[in-house]
Amino acid sequence: MSQQLYLSSSPHIHSGETTSKVMHAVIYSLLPACGVAVYFFGPSALSVLLIATLGCLATEVVCQRLMGQPVTIADGSAAITGILLALNLPPSSPWWLTLLGAVIAIAIGKQVYGGLGSNPFNPALVARVVLLISFPVQMTTWSAPAPLGSGLDLVTTATPLGAWKNAVMLTGQMPSDLPGSTADYFLGNMPGCIGEVSALALLLGAAYLFYRRILTWHIPTAFIGTVILLSGLFWLIDPAKYPNPVFHLVTGGLILGAFYMATDMVTTPVSTRGMLLFGVGCGLLTVLIRLFGGYPEGVSFAILLMNAATPLIDRYTRPKTFGTPGQEVVR
């Protein structure tokens, strides 16, 4: 009988939640956003999604084989990176750009650091930023949405943030005719990255993650709250030049970034205070880059910069151990 007995150190029960279940839940939560993207941008969005996801999975297999490690694509983490990368690319991305992004995300963004759990930066964002800097033309060619069945072709146009930035650069004033209404922006009927257009679909997915207790409120709240406060401040100072906070909220990648990219567990702080600080930092940098930087959109840069600050934040926001007055920072 002793042959089949298990012995171990306590505890002897487990919640049953596993890494791959968490990852798969994140994938499910992204499906509405993917669906909306395919609705508005048609087959080109679908092909970007497929190429990015399969590219990431393939790169993961190749890297792990090369390093003689067990292949772990079934855990879903590479697939998430692929989907998030696709959601961060323009719908008109050529296939080679998407594929290159996938290879960069997994090989340079993740595996060189030692794979899952060891990467300091969000792999999908690393790929997006590398592509954005290397191929600025392809990465900033946006298409106006052409809903399925509308018979429209994809037409090149500017994103709302891009239109605003151009106008401010040229005239120092808000443009009088921004394309689309706030409702359009919220539903996703605007040009932009595949995944960032529909705030509604992203919020639906995020609600599911909250329900599954995979997301905590700290980072998204701190991130979005800071953006609203800071952009609101500038808007109050000069409404003729600066757009209102709602515009900031529903255009660009803020919702996607705040709920999916800035909440990537691996690259964000672990303590509650650290998460809040991280979110505030992301919000601050996003608004500064959007209002005063060279690029119209700053979410990716903001998150990557805060990723770099994560070890420092972790070190300075260590929770106060029970029964102590709080401890010195470990140097």
Partner 1 sequence: MLAAILSLGCIGMIAAIALGFAAKKFAVYVDPRELAILEALPGANCGACGFPGCAGYAKALVAGSIDLNQCPPGGADVVAKLAHILGFEASAAAREIAVVLCQGDNRKAQLKYHYLGLEDCTAAQRIADGPKVCPGGCLGLASCQRVCPFDAIEMTADGLAVISREKCTGCRKCIAVCPRKVIRMTPSEATVHVLCNSHDKGALVRKYCQIGCIGCNICLKTVPDAYKIENFLAEVVYEHDAEANEALPKCPTKCIRDFATGYPEGSTQLLASASSMTGRQK
Partner 2 sequence: MKLKTFTGGIHPPDNKQWSSHKAIEDCPLPAEFVVPLAQHIGAPSVACVEVGQRVARGQEIGSAKGFVSVPMHAPTSGEVIAVENRPHPWGTSLPAVVIRPDGEDRWSTELQPADPSELTPDEIVERVRLAGVVGMGGAAFPAHVKMSPPPEKQIHTLIFNGIECEPYLTADHRMMLEEPERILQGVALLQYVLGAERVVIGIEANKPDAIALLKKHCLETPVEVMSLEVKYPQGAEKQLIAAVTGLEVPSGGLPMDIGVAVHNVSTAAAITDAVLHGRPLIERVCTVTGPAIREPKNLRIRIGTPLSHLVEVCGGLIEAPGKIILGGPMMGFTQLGFDVPATRGTSGLLLLRTEDVALHAESPCIRCARCVQACPIKLLPTTIAAYARRDLLAETAEYCVMDCIECGSCSYVCPATIPLVQAIRYGKAAILAKKRSSQI
Summarize as ranges the residues that interact with partner 2 (CB under 8 A): 1-2, 4-19, 21-22, 72, 75, 77, 115-118, 216, 265-272, 275, 318-324, 327, 330
How many other CB atoms are found less than 10 A from the CB of residue 240? Answer: 8
324 binds partner 1 (CB under 8 A): no
Please check whether residue 300 is in contact with residue 253, taking contact to mean a CB–CB distance below 8 angstroms: yes
- As given in the structure block, the two tokens for residue 220 are 């998204």
Residue placing its CB nearer to partner 2 in the complex, 177 or 328? 328
**The one segment of 7-15, 107-115, 155-163, 191-199 that binds partner 1 by CB under 8 A:** 7-15
Tell me the site size for partner 1, rule CB under 8 A: 9
2 binds partner 1 (CB under 8 A): yes
Query: What, of partner 2, partner 1, none, does residue 240 touch, CB below 5 to 8 Å by kind?
Result: none
DSSP letter at 241?
A: T
Cα–Cα–Cα angle for 28, 30, 31, nearest 5°?
A: 70
CA separation for the pair 135, 97 (Å, rounded): 8
Residue placing its CB nearer to partner 2 in the complex, 5 or 237? 5
13 binds partner 1 (CB under 8 A): no
5 binds partner 1 (CB under 8 A): yes
Please check whether residue 71 is in contact with residue 134, taking contact to mean a CB–CB distance below 8 angstroms: no
15 binds partner 1 (CB under 8 A): no
Min dist CB 206 to partner 2, Å, is 16
Query: What, of partner 1, partner 2, none, does residue 68 touch, CB below 5 to 8 Å by kind?
Result: partner 1
Please check whether residue 186 is in contact with residue 199, taking contact to mean a CB–CB distance below 8 angstroms: yes
Single residue of 7, 170, 329, 330 touching partner 1 by CB under 8 A: 7
CA separation for the pair 105, 92 (Å, rounded): 19
CA nearest to 125, candidates 264, 286, 279: 264
Sequence-distant (6+) residues with CB within 8 A of 34 are 49, 83, 87, 195
- How far out from the chain centre does Cα 124 lie? 8
Min dist CB 18 to partner 1, Å, is 15
Min dist CB 9 to partner 2, Å, is 4
Query: What, of partner 1, partner 2, none, does residue 151 touch, CB below 5 to 8 Å by kind?
Result: none
CA separation for the pair 197, 148 (Å, rounded): 15
Residue placing its CB nearer to partner 2 in the complex, 44 or 317? 317
Reduced to 3 states, what is the DSSP secondary structure of residue 314? helix
Stretch 151-170: interaction string toward partner 1, x if CB under 8 A: --------------------
Query: What, of partner 1, partner 2, none, does residue 19 touch, CB below 5 to 8 Å by kind?
Result: partner 2
Please check whether residue 230 is in contact with residue 287, taking contact to mean a CB–CB distance below 8 angstroms: yes
Residues that bind partner 1 (CB under 8 A): 2-9, 68
